[in-house]
Amino acid sequence: MTTITDSHCHLDFPDFEGERDAIVASAREAGVARMVTICTKLRQADQVRAIAEAHDPVFWAAGTHPMSAASEPMASVDDLLTLARHPKMVGIGETGLDYHYTGDSAAVQRESLRIHIEAARQTGLPLIIHARDADDDMARILSEEHAAGSYSCVMHCFSSGAALAETALELGFYLSMSGIAAFKKSQELRDIFAAAPLDRILVETDSPYLAPPPHRGKRNEPAYTAHTARVGAEVFGLDYADFAKATEANFDRLFAKAAAWGKA
């Protein structure tokens, strides 16, 4: 079976309560061999870590979501370094900037983002970025920080403009396709992905949100990564198996800790 990886999901969310074993099993049946479940509030790290420990295909990452940056205690670099010692903790974030609903906390979000970047720099783990309605500040901060010391990064659920995509790619970062890229109205976004190098593309669900067709409007789950990946294959003019192989290689390159776990 052709295999792919859901590089970003939220298995700890209550939408999956009591069903996680079945959700993981369904994903594997659909060819989704690995999943990265994301902790968005550090006080929930124990719960997210436990999900990864209970399921061999599941890895985890941790950070403070920008929409929670003002309401949660400010993460420290040491906090993130401590969490990163866990063998299945494979990324820093999600962090980033979201000015759509929480623009009033922009200054706090920027401070939090820079802390997460430093943790990514020190651990060597990829930074996982959420960006919405903050393209200019995001491009500026990512560029400033990269000039101060390199780090790796994925622009998760990328749905921003072409200029931010170009900046991210110039810095050596990756763009992740979510169900948004499969929506009928998202041709402009698909064009942005089509202009990117194939070796910088990941796929994800961001489940339980943003289910791709034919499940749009329903609860998303990791198994549905396959639907987005099929659209990705069309965008790049590839057979599904070839696109899946490319995104698997990209994931292994960026999330090297997860790749090493699999080989072990």
- Summarize the annotated binding site as residue ranges: 8, 10, 94, 130, 156, 206
DSSP 211: P
Q: How far apart are the C-alpha atoms of 89 and 125, rounded to whole Å?
A: 9
Pull the structure tokens for residue 245: 């192989």
Backbone φ and ψ for 82, nearest 5 degrees, come out as: -65, -45
Task: Identify whether 214 is preceded by a cis peptide bond (ω within 30 of 0).
Answer: yes
Backbone φ and ψ for 70, nearest 5 degrees, come out as: -85, -20
- Summarize the annotated binding site for a divalent metal cation as residue ranges: 8, 10, 94, 130, 156, 206
Any idea what the Cα angle at residue 90 is, between residues 150 and 68, rounded to 5°? 85
Conformational region of residue 124, where left means phi above 0, alpha means psi within -120 to 50, and beta covers everything else? left
Any idea what the Cα angle at residue 43 is, between residues 175 and 206, rounded to 5°? 25
Contact 87, 261 (CB under 8 A): yes
Residue type present at position 160: S
Residue type present at position 123: T
